[in-house]
Amino acid sequence: MTSNLRTRIRAGELLVGSFIKTPSPHVIEILGHAKLDFGVIDQEHAPIGIAQVDMMALAGKAIGLPLLSRRWGASVDWISPLLDLGLAGVMVPHVVNADGARAVCDAVRFSRGKRGLSPSPRAGNYGGIGIADYRAKCDAESVVMVQIEDESALAHLDEIAGEPDVDLLFIGPADLSQSMGVSYPSPELDAAIEQIIAAGKKAGVAIGLFVGDAGHIAKWHASGVSVFVCGSDQALLRKSATQMMATAKTEKE
| Tens of pLDDT, residues 138-190 | 999 999 999 999 999 999 999 999 999 999 999 999 999 999 999 999 999 99
List, for residues 109-127, the tens digit of each pLDDT value. Answer: 999 999 999 999 999 999 9
Burial string for 95-108 (b: 16+ CB within 10 Å, else e) reads: bbebebbbbbbebb
Q: Distance between CA atoms of 33 and 42, rounded to whole angstroms?
A: 20
Q: Which pLDDT score is estimated for 74? A: 82
Cα–Cα distance for residue pair 100/123, rounded to 1 Å: 25
Q: Which helix (H) or strand (E) holds 151?
A: none
More confident residue, 243 or 250: 243
In a domain, 9, yes or no: no
**Percentage above 70 pLDDT, the chain:** 98
* 143 assigned to some structural domain: yes
pLDDT higher than threshold 80 for residue 26? yes
Which domain, by its residues, includes 165?
14-252
Is residue 200, in this structure, part of any structural domain at all?
yes
Residue 52 lies in a domain: yes
pLDDT given at position 253: 59
Whether pLDDT at 73 is above 90? no
CB 199 within 8 A of CB 168: no
Q: State mean pLDDT over 8-31.
A: 98
- Residue-level pLDDT at 1: 39
- For residue 4, being part of any structural domain is answered with no
Q: Has residue 73 been placed in a domain?
A: yes
Mean residue pLDDT of the chain comes to 97
pLDDT at 252: 62
At a CB cut-off of 8 Å and minimum separation 6, what does 232 contact?
18, 19, 20, 21, 42
Q: Would you say residue 34 lies in a domain?
A: yes
Per-residue model confidence (pLDDT) at position 2: 46
Say how many domains are in the chain: 1
Cα 97 → chain centroid = 19
- Confidence band, pLDDT 50/70/90 cuts, at residue 225: very high
CATH code, domain with 186: 3.20.20.60
**Rounded Cα gap, residues 223 and 142, in angstroms:** 26
| Residues 220-248, mean pLDDT to the nearest whole number | 97
User: Is 1 domain-assigned?
Assistant: no
